[in-house]
Chain A
Amino acid sequence: MPFDFGKEVDHVARLARLSLEEDEKERMAGQLSDILKTARRIQELDTTGIEPTSHVTERPAVLREDRVRPSLPLDKALRNAPRREKGFVKVPRITVSEQDQK
C-alpha cells in the first residue's frame, strides 16, 4: 500500500507544537513516509488475543508515605525560567484555541 505522510505533516506538526519551515516539511514528509512504511510491517503479525506490554516490569506500583519534604527555594525553582515576574513564570498572551484544548 503506498503511503504518503505529506498530507498529515501540518496537522501533526500543529499537534506537536513544532513550527517547520517549508523545505523542512517536504523533507520530513518523504522521510516519515519511508519510516512509517517500514514500521507498518508489524501489521503482518497476527496479534489476536495478545495483551500489549506497556511495562516490562511485572509488579505493582509502590506507594510512598504522605510526608511533606522541603521544596526548592524560589530562586532555584525559577533559576532556569526564561521569563519571570514577581516570583511567577511569565508567558505570552494565551489564545482562545490554546485554551480550548484544555
Chain B
Amino acid sequence: MRLYEMTAAELSRRLQSREVSSAEVVRSFLERIDEVDPYLRAFITRTPDLALKSAGEIDSRRMRGETLHPLAGVPIAVKDNISTLALRTTCASRILENYIPPFDATVVAALKKAGMPILGKTNLDEFAMGSSTENSAFFPTRNPWDPGRVPGGSSGGSVVAVATGMAPLALGSDTGGSIRQPASLCGVTGLRPTYGRVSRYGLVAFASSLDQIGTVSTTAFDGALLMNLIAGYDPLDSTSLPEEVPDYRAGLEPGLDKLRVGLIRYGRVDGFDPEVTEAVNKAASMLEEHGAKVGEVSLPLTDYGLSAYYLIAPSEASSNLGRYDGVRYGFCADGDSIEAMFSRTRGEGFGAEVKRRIMIGTYALSAGYYDAYYLKAMKVRTLIRRDYEKAFKKFDLLLGAASPTPAFKLGEKTEDPLQMYLSDVCNITDSLAGMPSLAVPGGFHSSGLPLGLQLTARPMQEKLLLKTGRFFEEQRAEYPLRPSLDFLEERGGDYEI
C-alpha cells in the first residue's frame, strides 16, 4: 500500500512511530497530484513548496522530541473559499482571481498550528454556488468514477482530491449540501457540523446563516480526527458555539443498541432514482439487524424547504457579494463614473449562476417583495425546524439519501438551474434547521457509480453521526473506496479536458 492510499489515521500512526517522515508523506501525495490532477482538476492552486517546507519543519520538530498534534505532518487540501494568508483565495471566481488575503481563516490557523502541510486550494462552484463544480470560473472538476460526469458541488475539488488519494483529508464548506452531495457522488465521507460548531471566520460568505465549514475524508474516524482540530468556539465568530468540544474519536466503536433511527420518507420529490431508495432501505435493514430500532419518519416540508432555501440563500448572497465592487480588492473594470465601474466590474467579474442568485436575492429583499419572499421563507424555516424537533422526539438519528441520484453528466443541468437546484433536495432542510449531517458511502448504483447515505442528528451530536458512519464502513468488504482511474491509462496523455 502506498502512502497516498492510506487513511489519515494510518498516516498519523506511522508518523508518530517515525516509520515515515512527513516529507515522504507529502511527496507521495504531491506525486499523486501530478499524476491525477491534470485529468480531474481538483486544485485551483497547488502549493508543493509550501507543503514540503512545513513537512520539513514538522519532521525536525519531531526529531527534537516535541509533543505534536496527532495530525502533525498529515497533509490536507483546503477549499478555495477559505482564506489563506498570503496565498491566493479565489472562490473560483474571476472577481477574486488575484486576491491574496492578509489573514488566515481560523480553521487554517488551526491546521498550521497543528502542523498540517497544505497541499493546495481546491476547486468549487463560484462562491460555492452550485452542485456540480461546473460553475467554477476556471475549469470544471471531473468525477473520478466516471470522468464524463460531475463530482457534485460545490466542494467538488476537495471531494475529488480525497477520493483519489491526492489528499488524505480536505476542508469543504456546506451551505445547502455542498459537502454531503459531492461526497456521496464520489464515494467519500463528508460531515456538515452543527451550525456554529466550526468557526466561519475566514470562510468567504455565501449565505451566512447557512454556511458551515466541514470535513471531507475517506473514513468517519478521519473525520473525527479533523473535527477534533477545527471544532470549537472562536472569539472572532460571534455565531460560533461555546459548548465544550468532545473528543470525537472516543467511543466510535459500533454498538447500535437502542438507537432509534427514523427512515426518511420523502414527500412529493421528483427525480429520485429507485436504486437510491433501495440503498437507503438496505442501510436501514442493516441498522435494524444490529440492534437499532427503525421507524419511518416524514419531513413533509422537504419540498418547501427547497423553495425557502432558494430565497434565503440568494438573499443573503446578494448582500454578502455586494462588497465585490472593484474598490478595495479583486477584479476592477474601467468606468468613467463610480456607477459604471461598479456595474461593469460586477457584470464582468461574476459568472452566470452567481449573477442569477444575486438577482433573485436582490429581488426577494426589495421593497414590496420582502414580506412575500424573504420573510415568508424565514417563517417556513421555523416550520422546518419544528419538523425536526418533532422527529427528534421519536428518533435519535434520521437516515436518508445524500443525493437523489448518482453523479450526473457534465453539462447535463447547466442550462437548467432548477434541475441543478433539485440535486440538493436531500440536503437543504438540514442546513435550514442548522442540524449536523453526515454523508457516508452507501454502496453502488448498477452503473458502477457510488451512492451516498445521509445521517442527520440533533445539534452537537456529530459523534453519533460519525459512530454510525463507522458502522456502515465496517459492514463493507473494503474501505476506503477507491475509484480505479482506469481511464488514465486507457486514454493516456491525450485525455480531453
Which A residues contact B (CB, under 8 angstroms)?
A: 5, 8-9, 12-20, 24, 28, 31-32, 34-36, 38-45, 47, 50-57, 61-62, 64, 72, 76-77, 79-83, 89, 91-95, 97-98
Interface: B344 (CB within 8 A): yes
Seed contacts A40-B307, A76-B102, A93-B338; 9 additional CB < 8 Å A-B pairs: A13-B359, A38-B310, A42-B311, A44-B304, A50-B382, A54-B209, A62-B238, A72-B102, A92-B335
**Minimal beta-carbon separation of B340 from chain A (angstroms):** 7
Find out whether the CB atom of A32 lies under 8 angstroms from the CB atom of B356. Answer: yes
A5 to chain B: closest residue by CB: B363
Q: Is the CB of B379 within 8 A of A32?
A: no
Asked if B293 is an interface residue, CB under 8 A from chain A, the answer is no
Which one of A14, A47, A61, A95 has the greatest number of beta carbons of chain B within 10 Å?
A47
Task: Determine whether B285 belongs to the interface, using a CB cutoff of 8 Å to chain A.
Answer: no
**Are the C-beta atoms of B366 and A39 separated by less than 8 Å?**
no
- The contact of B382 among A52, A64, A95, by CB within 8 Å, is A52
B329 and A50 contact, CB distance less than 8 A:
no
Known pairs A55-B209, A81-B327; A39 contacts B307 (CB<8 A): yes
Chain B CB within 10 Å, residue with most, of A51, A89, A91: A91
- Contact for A47 among B318, B335, B352, B379, CB less than 8 A: B379
CB of B135 to closest CB in A, whole Å: 14
In the bound complex, residues from chain B placing their C-beta under 8 Å from that of A97 are 339
A35, A38, A53 interface centre (most CB from chain B within 10 Å): A53
B-side interface size class: 35 or more
Is residue B399 contacting chain A, with contact meaning CB distance below 8 A? no
Q: Considering the chains assembled together, what is the distance between the CA atoms of A16 and B242 in angstroms?
A: 36
Q: A35 to chain B: which residues have CB within 8 Å? A: 310, 356, 360, 417-418, 421
The answer to whether residues A53 and B343 also contact, given A34-B418, A45-B304 and a CB cut-off of 8 A, is no
- Contacting pair A81 B328 (CB below 8 A): yes
Q: How far is the CB of A85 from chain B (nearest CB, A)?
A: 13
Complex contacts, A72 vs chain B, CB 8 Å: 102
Q: Which A residues are in CB contact (< 8 Å) with B350?
A: 18
B102 and A77 contact, CB distance less than 8 A = yes
B359 touches A93 (CB 8 A): no
Closest Cβ–Cβ distance, residue B354 to chain A (whole Å):
10
Residues of B within 8 A of A56 (CB): 195-196, 209, 385, 432-434
**Chain A residue contacts of B100, Cβ below 8 A:** 79-80
Per a CB cutoff under 8 Å, which of B239, B310, B362, B377 touches A15? B362
Residue of B nearest to A44 (CB): B304
Q: Name the residue in A15, A16, A62, A97 with the highest tally of chain B Cβ atoms < 10 Å from its Cβ.
A: A16
Q: A12-B363, A77-B102 are in contact. Are A54 and B378 (CB under 8 A)?
A: yes
Docked complex Cα distance between A57 and B217 (Å): 27
Residues of B within 8 Å of A32, CB to CB, are 356, 359-360, 363
Interface segment out of the listed B10-18, B53-61, B172-180, B368-376: B368-376
Cβ–Cβ contact A50 & B379, under 8 A: yes
Q: Which residues of A contact B352 (CB under 8 A)?
A: 24
Cβ distance A94 to chain B, nearest Cβ, rounded Å: 5
B241 at the interface (CB under 8 A from A): yes
Mask, B319-358, CB within 8 Å of A = 1, is 0001001111111100111111111101110101001101
